[in-house]
Chains A and B, each alone.
Chain A
Amino acid sequence: MPAGRVLGVIVIALLIAALFNSEAIVRAGEGMQQGTTRDVVLSIGRPLDDVAGAIGFHLPREGLDLAFGHDPKTASGTELEKGSTAILRRRPGGRAPGTAAWTQPTPERPLQLLVTGDSEAEFVGQRVVDQAPQGLLEVETVARNATGLTNPAFFNWELNAQQEIAARDPDAVIMAIGGNDGFNVEAGGQLYGPHDPEWQTEYARRVAVVMRELTQNGKRPVYWVPPPTARDDEFNAIYGAQNRAVEQATRAVPGARYVDIYNTINNGRYSDELKVDGRRVLARQSDGVHFTREGAVVPTRLILRAMARDYPALGGDRGGP
């Protein structure tokens, strides 16, 4: 077949794919790092998506999504995107934290634990299974890689939290998230960067919105784990702001717990190596952010200690960093 005809087939195929997958193009663009590629993809994808939506080209794709069992995870008009900081004011009511508040796990009735968040959740979920006392936890890990709270158009965590809780109804939740939240946020019609105090307030608000969905007003505890220290100074500063924001949100939402792995691991100083049970291990992956399999033991033990304040049966000496 001549190359010209082949080109015709390829171009038509890509056009068909672009028209019927325009939402996916916009989502892919919104998930990219800030830069020229993202700008180009969105400048083409958004108008294309508007046209395709107007003609009804979204319908076949929505049918396929249903057929493959994919729930839509984006929505507009949610409180995550725009809402009042009143949610950060401490509210009375809801279940007060305390050991009597929630049913304690037993071997006959283990604690149904949902571990969720971004890619860090995958490691945490795996290590929680082998670090916790045997038989007291049933862990389900649902990691949504590359997601965060600062880009709800790409992935809406408020909506996702509602869906996950409705589907699984866990006894407790561990939420490990924040590594993809270095983007600007809009608040009061203005854009703020991670170094602005307004960014921290807006981030705290979004954390509180998702916390509220996960805890369902104190029905279950949520252990929120923001990122630890990072090798890169820029990331480190952003993660510091996130930790302060999560601490602020935790004070306002019944049942929410802030698990501080930023200031506690190695006294808040980044290190590639850590000591686990007296043994030196390579704790961080080459990106200087994610924990290695061995290193993930350290934050996991901190999480389990936090859980042990609510569930004493999960306590016990597992050693420490």
Chain B
Amino acid sequence: MSFPTIEFAVFFVAVFILSWALMPHPRAWRPFIIVASYVFYGWVDWRWVLLLVSSSVVNTVAARVIATSSSPRTRKHALIAAICFDLGLLCTFKYLGFFVTQVDDFLDSLGLGSPLPLVQIVLPIGISFFTFQAISYVVDVYRGETKAASLGDVAILQAFFPHLVAGPIVRANELLPQLRTPRDPRTVLAGPGLFLVAGGLIKKTVVADELARRLVDPVFNDPLAHSGAEVLLAIYAFAAQIYCDFSGYTDMAIGLALLLGFVLPQNFNRPYLALSLQDFWRRWHMTLSRWLRDYLYIPLGGNRHGARRTYRNLMLTMLLGGLWHGAAWTFVIWGGIHGTALSVERWARERWVGFRLPAWLAWFLTFHVVCLAWVFFRSPNLTTAFDMLGQIGAPGPSPLVTLPIVFLTVAAIAIQALPSGWWQRAEGWLVRQPVAAQGVAFGVLLVVSDAAVGQQGVAPFIYYQF
């Protein structure tokens, strides 16, 4: 089920009513929210629910063993078994086809036949997110940072429908304590919740889908048929599109959770204001970057073993981060660009201690390195990515470069520079209005956002495919 659909609207109203009605009775509320989340997830294919259930069961058992066993060996084995299971799920559904194709191509290049059947396994939506959440949970239990939880709580941690399909990646110690205390129905954070849902919808339908339809998709489908101006604007437009699409989804997820009484972690903090790649990764997909830092970079050694190991660890972390997004060389190169840039930044900081670039130059360089990497992220293959870059200087008419598209692109990026105070003041003002006025305001927003997409309907959120 996708957020901006009729089915979800009906589903959410029903869940909202029942969730608050059952909230004072945790023994009834817990199974209810689990079932509701499974209905949400299984709407497209009920078999996906079996994956989710199996993941919850395996990780609950592993965490129990880790928490109760006195043998360090047993605890370690339980941890490894859980991680292998989680990564095994991910690798089977996400990477098996890619792996088989690469092996097949390699054997073919040597003139050898390949016995492996070429397979295309359906990728369950959200698998990258709930498996990473599961790994984070068992590792935190192992490290003693969180207590082992019941099967029901682990099921909710993984399956809670606002964050299930595309994050944020929630830590156990962020959500589990909230589950242990019934939320207060008198103090629902309606202002931030409704604003986030409405704002996320507008970002997705009015900005992201428009930019995709009118410029990004036509240009990335056939770069050589477009002028340099169109290609360059399409790259900037994709930067705006992916931000609005992904942060729009996250805003809706966080807003819906707030309306149900739960606080999810922030996932974006005005990433295009970053003055360095390191800063960018503290602002973009924050829950993924902290996951990579805490469960990959630091266990690899982080920056504790000298410069060369630090650069190696940065590269490995970002390459695997790229691969997490998808089984394709374009994502690996995207990660490689970020890993290289982070390493170069680090080297430069250590080489010229105390030296700082002017802020405008630091911003300019950071933004353009990020955009360069986006070219690979968006392109369906390497050929298209290099065609895009090669075409930037090409002359020719540019019918796709229109004032509305330029305005949308610039506005989507520049709006991040606005102080956030105005947003909070608007929220505060709106929730003081009568219920009917608030309802009308949000209703109008829903009408406008639906009109923006027209008859094509809302395109799937970009991060659904991960």
Interface size range on B against A: 35 or more
With A11-B13, A16-B443, A285-B120 known to touch, is A139 a contact of B452 (CB < 8 Å)?
no
Residues of chain B within 8 A of A122, CB atoms compared:
221
Chain B residues with CB under 8 Å of A16's CB are 439-440, 442-444, 446-447
Please indicate the chain B residues that have their CB under 8 angstroms from the CB of A279 in the complex.
Answer: 105, 108
A61 to B108 Cα, complex, angstroms: 57
Known: A9-B194, A17-B447, A21-B446. A1 touches B118 (CB 8 A): no
- Sort chain A's interface into a size bin: 35 or more
Other-chain residue from B7, B97, B259, B451 in contact with A6 (beta carbon distance below 8 A): B259
Q: Is A93 an interface residue (CB 8 A)?
A: no
Nearest neighbor of B7 in chain A, beta-carbon distance: A37
State whether A9 and B435 are in contact (beta carbons under 8 Å apart), knowing that A2-B186, A14-B9, A293-B381 are contacts in the complex. yes
- Please name all residues of chain A whose beta carbon is closer than 8 Å to the beta carbon of B20 when the two chains form the complex: 3, 7
Which residues of B have CB within 8 Å of A129?
221-222, 224-225
Q: Flag if A1 contacts B447 (CB, 8 Å).
A: no
Determine which of A41, A64, A284 lies in contact with B447 in the assembled complex, contact meaning CB atoms within 8 Å. A64
> Which residues on B sit within 8 Å (CB–CB) of A280?
104, 108, 114, 118
Contact at A145–B431, with CB atoms within 8 Å? no
Query: A271-321: which have CB < 8 Å to B?
Result: 272-273, 279-282, 284-286, 292-293
Contact with B188, one of A6, A37, A64 (Cβ below 8 angstroms):
A6
Contact of B446 among A5, A14, A125 (CB under 8 A): A14
Q: How many angstroms from the CA of A2 to the CA of B13 in the assembled complex?
A: 15
Of the candidates A5, A29, A73, the one whose C-beta lies within 8 Å of that of B455 is A73
**B307 contacts the other chain (Cβ, under 8 Å)?**
no
- Whether A2 and B118, one on each chain, are in contact in the complex, defined by CB atoms closer than 8 angstroms, is no
**Is the beta-carbon distance between B188 and A13 smaller than 8 angstroms?**
no
Which residues of chain B are near A1, meaning CB under 8 Å?
A: 187-191, 431
Cβ–Cβ < 8 Å partners of B259 in chain A: 6, 10
Contact A13 B443 (CB under 8 A): yes
Q: Does A191 contact B (CB under 8 A)?
A: no
User: A65, B451: Cβ atoms under 8 Å?
Assistant: yes
**Residues of B close to A61: CB separation below 8 A:** 447, 451
User: In the assembled complex, which residues on chain A have CB atoms less than 8 Å from the CB atom of B5?
Assistant: 28
> Are B443 and A15 neighbours in the complex by a CB distance under 8 Å?
yes
Is B185 an interface residue, CB under 8 A from the partner?
A: yes
Number of A-B contacts (CB under 8 A): 157
Question: Which residues of B sit under 8 angstroms from A236, Cβ to Cβ?
Answer: none
Whether, in the assembled complex, B456 has its beta carbon less than 8 Å from a beta carbon of chain A, the answer is: yes
The yes or no answer to B457 lying at the interface (CB within 8 A) is: yes
B121 within 8 A of A: yes
Give Cα A129 to B221, complex, Å: 9
Contact for A2 among B108, B185, B438, B451, CB less than 8 A: B185
CB pair A126–B222 under 8 Å, yes or no, is: yes
With contacts A9-B442, A27-B455 taken as known, whether A138 is within 8 angstroms of B188 at the C-beta atoms is: no
Tell me if A13 and B108 are in contact (CB < 8 A): no
* A286 partner, pick from B17, B120, B431, B456, beta carbons under 8 A: B120
* CB neighbours of A25 from chain B (8 A): 6
> When each residue 257-282 of chain A gets 1 if its CB lies under 8 Å from chain B and 0 otherwise, what string results?
00000000000000011000001111
Which chain B residue shows the least CB distance to A1? B190
- B454-A65 in contact (CB<8A): yes
Cβ–Cβ contact B439 & A8, under 8 A: yes
Task: Please pick, from B9, B224, B457, the residue contacting A146 in the complex, using a CB distance under 8 A.
Answer: B457
| B436 x A12 contact (CB < 8 A) | yes
Q: A17-B447, A24-B450, A141-B221 are in contact. Are A5 and B114 (CB under 8 A)?
A: no
Q: Which residues of A contact B (CB under 8 A)?
A: 1-17, 20-21, 24-25, 27-29, 31, 37, 41, 60-61, 64-65, 67-68, 70, 73-74, 122, 125-126, 129, 138-139, 141, 144-146, 155, 272-273, 279-282, 284-286, 292-293
26 contacts between A and B (CB under 8 A): A1-B190, A3-B188, A4-B185, A7-B17, A7-B20, A9-B190, A9-B439, A9-B442, A10-B16, A11-B13, A12-B435, A13-B442, A14-B13, A14-B443, A15-B439, A16-B443, A16-B447, A17-B443, A28-B5, A37-B7, A41-B6, A65-B451, A145-B457, A272-B118, A272-B120, A280-B108
Q: Given A2-B188, A17-B443, A272-B118, list of 9 further CB < 8 A pairs?
A: A12-B442, A16-B444, A65-B454, A126-B380, A129-B224, A141-B221, A279-B108, A284-B120, A292-B120
